[in-house]
Amino acid sequence: MTLRSSSDKPIGVIGAGNFGTVIANIIARNRKVLLYARDEKVVKKILETHENRGYKMSKNVLPTSDMEYLASQCDVIFPIVPSSHFRTVIKTLAPFLHPYHILIHGTKGFDIKLQKGETIETVKTLSRKQVRTMSEVIQEETVVVRVGCLAGPNLAKELAQRQPGATVVASHFQEVIQTGKRLLRNDRFQVYENNDLVGVEIAGVIKNIIAIAAGMLSGLGYGENAKGLLISRGAVEMVYLGKVLGGDTKTFLGVAGIGDLITTCNSPMSRNYTVGFRLAKGEKLKDILEDMEEVAEGVNAIRIAKKCSEYYKVRPLITDTLYKVLFEGMTVQDALDYLMRYPLNVDIKLT
C-alpha cells in the first residue's frame, strides 16, 4: 500500500538547536525522526543520554551527522538552522535532494546577496532583488519546489513543557500545509495554515526587530502602557514594511504576524528581547552578542530592514531608531524619548 510506505519513512530535521530539538520531539509523537547535527559530539551525546540542550529526547528521534543519509531516507525535511548558516547548509544538502522532497523550514531571517567587495556595513540600500527569504534560498539552491515554513508564537521552552501553543504552516502548496499539519498537530499544539509564504516569513523577521525594542522598554523599567503602545505601533510598522517587501496585510494581522509579535514582545525568554533588555541596562552590543549561545536574528534584521526601507522610501520609525541605538551610538533613553516625541497623529491606515 502506498500510504504505508510513505508513512513508514522517517521525517528529517536539520539543526539540533533549541527550536530544531523541540520540533523533532513534537514530530516524534507521530513519526520516526532523523535529527541532523553537524557536530559528532552532539550526535553521540543524544545517543548516550537521550538529551539535548536540556530537553529530553523522544525515543523516536535518531540523531545523525550524515546529511546524504538523511536526504535519502526522508521525503519531508525540516531545516531549522540560523539564517546566517542557512544558505551554506542548504547548499550542502542540495546535491542529495530530489524534486519529490518537501522542505518546511523554521528559520527566521533574511539572506542577502551582495556584490563582490560589498559588506552589509558598506552597502547603502538593499532592494528585494538582493534580499531573500529562506524559502527563496531553498528554491535558488535546490531542485525542491514544494517549500513551506513554520512561523508563529512558538517559544521552544514552553512547547517542550507541553504547554498549549500554535504554529502557522505557510506554503503555496496545500500539500505542504497538510503534510505539516499532519506531522505537527497534537492535542496541545494547534497548526494554522496560510498561503502567503513570503508574508509569513517577513512577519517572522520583523517581529524580532520589535522584540528588541520590547526588551529595551522592560530594561528601562517601563510598564504595560508603553508595551501596548510599542506592540501596536510595531504591528503598523510590520504592515508597512512587510507590504513593500512582498507580504499581504492579512498575514500580518494573523497568528504569524500579531500573534507572534505579542508573544515575542512579552517573553523574557526570547533572545531578541534579551538583547534589548541588556542594552537598556547599559551593556554593549558586542559583549551581549559574544556571550549568547544562539544568534539574536533581530540584530541582523534591523540592518537589512533599514537598508530596504531606504531603497523603497518608507520610514519605519522603530527600526530606524533601533538602528541608531545598535550601530550609531544613540542611547536607549534618547531613542525612547525620540520615539515618544515623534509626531504621529494618524493611528493606522491599512488601505
Partner 1 sequence: MAEILVEKKNKNIGYEPILDGIPDWPVYQLSKNRKEFLEEVTAKAIEQIRLLRPSRKQLIDELEATVFREQNRLKRNRWRVDPKDEPKFWSRIKNDLIELNTKTAEEAGKKEEEILYEIVHRYANEIAGSFKPSSYRFAREVIKFWFVRLLNGARVKKFGAYFRNQYSLRDKIHIVGKVKMLRKLAKEGTVVIVPTHFSNLDSILIGWVIHSLGLPAFLYGAGLNLFNIKIFAYFMNSLGAYKVDRRKKNLPYLETLRMYSNLALQKGAHSLFFPGGTRSRSGLIEKQLKLGLLSTAIEAQRNLYIENKPDAKKIFVVPVTLNYHFVLEAPELIEDYLQVKGQDRYFAEEDNYGSFQLIKFMFKFFTKGSSISVSVGPGLDVMGNYVDDDGNSLDANGQIINPREYFMTGGEVTIDKQRENEYTRMLSSRIVSEYHRINRVFASHLVAFVAFEMWQRKYPKLDLFGFLRLPEEDLEIDYEEFKAMFKKVRKEIYNLKDQGKVYHATHLKGEADIIIRRGLDNVGIFHLKRPLLRNKKGNIVTQDLNVLYYYHNRLVGYDLEKLI
| Interface residue list for partner 1 (CB under 8 A) | 2-3, 5-7, 9, 75, 94-95, 98-100, 140-141, 143, 145-146, 172-175
Length, in residues, of the chain: 351
Query: What's the closest the beta carbon of residue 173 comes to partner 1, in angstroms?
Result: 6
Q: Tell me which of 207, 227, 243, 306 is the catalytic residue.
A: 207
The closest of 132, 139, 208 to 176, measured between CA atoms, is 139
Say whether 192 sits in a helix, a strand or coil: strand
Nearest 5°: CA angle at 188, between 184 and 191?
40
Query: What's the closest the beta carbon of residue 98 comes to partner 1, in angstroms?
Result: 5
- What's phi and psi for 312, nearest 5 deg? -90, 5
Q: Report the DSSP beta bridge partners of residue 79.
A: 14
Residue 121's Cβ-count burial label (10 Å; 0-12, 13-18, 19+) is exposed
Say whether 1 sits in a helix, a strand or coil: coil
Nearer to partner 1, 145 or 317 (CB): 145
Cα separation of the two ends of the chain: 51
Per-residue DSSP letter, 185: -
Nearer to partner 1, 173 or 338 (CB): 173
Query: What's the closest the beta carbon of residue 321 comes to partner 1, in angstroms?
Result: 31
Decide if 207 is catalytic. yes
Nearer to partner 1, 40 or 175 (CB): 175
Query: What's the closest the beta carbon of residue 197 comes to partner 1, in angstroms?
Result: 11
Nearer to partner 1, 103 or 209 (CB): 103
CB 296 within 8 Å of CB 264: no
Query: What's the closest the beta carbon of residue 149 comes to partner 1, in angstroms?
Result: 16
Nearer to partner 1, 5 or 122 (CB): 5
Q: How far apart are CA 261 and CA 291, in angstroms?
A: 25
Tell me which residues are annotated as active site.
Answer: 207
